[in-house]
Structure 1
Amino acid sequence: MKKEEVPQDKGNLSNKNMRELVYATDEKGNYTTALSTGWEPKTIALSNSIEEISERIAIAKEQVKNNEVSPICYFMEFSRMDIAVLSSYVGMWQWRVKRHFKPKIFAGLSDKILQKYADAFNISVAELRNFKPH
């Protein structure tokens, strides 16, 4: 896109008086940078993804409350991770992480294993073990 065509739609950054650096072409066709306050399609996509993440967090919280899954599942969603990412952070196979989602299995986990999860979520073992959704 040409530098003078860079979108200046109302976006997530415009409320904070900030602009995003984007690449555009100048009048000679060379790549250069330009500032944009937003682009409506990008704003819509970002809003939709944030809404979806919020829904997944709420579902996980409700599942913990109903004792359907362990707090590991909630903190994974809250930290915007998936099983593959969490598995790599804690250094365990994905099937093992999924197994730790089961409340009975979670209750028997050692502090050493819980510490790996706590470190991944940047919380304490006590916060992980004693998580009570409201």
Structure 2
Amino acid sequence: MKKDEVPQDLSSLGKITKEVCYATDSDGKYVTELSSGWEVKITALDTAWGDIQKRVAAAKQQVLEGKASPLLFFMEYRLMDVAILAGYTGFWKWQVKRHLKPEVFNTLSDNKLQKYAEAFNTKVDDLKTMTVHED
């Protein structure tokens, strides 16, 4: 791709960051050029974020129906899985899985809840009520 053909399709990330692409200059040598986005990549990212939003909504519904603890909601919201959350909290994976059950979550000590709250960058009260404060 030539330097003047590097895509500049504005995306939501294009307002925050630019991507370095390699292109050829007029002499045919490779140079770096900044791109604010590319339509195909924008579509793929929008689709992926849409899927994530659906997973967060489904997790929230499971919590509201009493099928899962608020940990599931925050795991989806923060793009974590059991292994990642276990790593952040110091709990074993089997413990995190157990804490995903509402009846177990409701008996957790304040100390354990605080570890989860810190991992999700929130407060214990917000953890219990699934309240999200944008950073």
TM-score, normalised relative to structure 1: 0.84
Q: 1:10 to 1:128 in 2, by over 3 A?
A: closer
Deviation of 1:11 after TM superposition, in Å, equals 2.9
Aligned positions, number = 130
Unaligned runs of 5+ in 1: none
Return structure 1 stretches of 4+ with deviation > 6 angstroms: none
Deviation of 1:12 after TM superposition, in Å, equals 2.9
The C-alpha deviation readout for 1:76-122, integer Å capped at 9, x for no partner, is 11112222211111112222111110011101111111111000111
Q: 1:132 to 1:40 in 2, by over 3 A?
A: closer
2:117 match: secondary structure: helix
Unaligned runs of 5+ in 2: none
The question of whether the paired residues in 2 share the 8 Å contact of 1:21 and 1:33 is answered with no
TM-score, normalised relative to structure 2: 0.83
Question: Where does residue 82 of structure 1 map in the other structure?
Answer: 81
CA distance in 1, matches of 2:123, 2:17: 37
CA distance in 1, matches of 2:130, 2:11: 36
- Aligned-partner residue type, residue 7 of structure 2: P
Q: 1:96 to 1:30 in 2, by over 3 A?
A: farther
2:41 pairs with 1:12: no
Q: 1:73 to 1:125 in 2, by over 3 A?
A: same
Q: Give me the CA root mean square deviation.
A: 2.1
- Aligned-partner residue type, residue 12 of structure 1: S
